[in-house]
Amino acid sequence: MVQFEQNEMETMKNSGQVLGKVADHYISDLYQLDRTRTAEEFIKQLKNICLRAISIGKKSDEMVYTKPLADLMDIINKHKENYDEIKDIVLVYATFYLGAIKYSRTRGD
């Protein structure tokens, strides 16, 4: 199992946060990310999610920063052989933040 650097972990965590925000609007993007089978497919789907994030920012007042996703692509290129492990960590955080957003909204209601 690969051990990651501290800054890489931070990037994965922040990417999870961005993915959680996007998944709040488009949950199917998260499912598609989960279904990717190669590093290339994973990066391609991340690019789609970046575009989604920009369009969410334009439609609503909420800004979604996509820098963590760009950094994540660099990490994936660095650890291409073990992209699967990166995917697992990112998806754990993404689901966690998605849940937190949904929960805070129900509390707000």
Partner 1 sequence: MQGDDWVIRIEQYHDWWFDNAVEFLGHLLERLGVDVVWDGGISFEPLDEDEVERLVEEIERLIEVKLKYPKESDETGVIEKKWRVYLPLTASNKRGDYKYKYLSGFLGKEPKLKKDIITLLLSDQLNGQKKKKICEICSKSTVLGLIDVTQGVYPVSNNNLESLNGVRSMKTSFKSCLLCNFLGYIEWLDRGIPFTWYMDKRGNSKTDYAYYLFPKIENIQDMHQFKKRLRDDILNEKKYSNVVPISNIKKERYLTDEYSLLLLLFEKMNENIKNLEKWDDLVCDEWAKLLIKKGELRYSYLEEIHIPQIERFKKIFEELLPYSDFVSHSFASPLKEGASKEIIQRLTKEDQYLMSKGIIMDDFKTFSKAFQIRQNCRLSTPKDALDYLIYTWRCKDGTI
Dmax over CA atoms of the chain, in Å, equals 45
Q: Are 2 and 82 in contact (CB under 8 A)?
A: yes
Judged by CB under 8 A, which stretch of 43-51, 57-65, 68-76, 86-94 contacts partner 1?
A: 86-94
Q: Output 59 or 106, the one with its CB closest to partner 1.
A: 106
What tokens were used for 14?
A: 């922040």
Answer yes or no whether residue 54 interacts with partner 1 by CB under 8 A. no
Residues whose CB is less than 8 angstroms from the CB of residue 62 and which lie 6 or more positions away in sequence, other chains included: 21, 56
Q: Output 6 or 58, the one with its CB closest to partner 1.
A: 6
Select the residue interacting with partner 1 from 57, 98, 108, 109 (CB under 8 A): 98
CB of 55 to partner 1, least distance (A): 22
Q: What is the distance between the alpha carbons of residues 16 and 84, in angstroms, rounded to a whole number?
A: 15
Q: How many residues bind partner 1 (CB under 8 A)?
A: 25
Q: Output 2 or 54, the one with its CB closest to partner 1.
A: 2
Q: Are 32 and 93 in contact (CB under 8 A)?
A: no
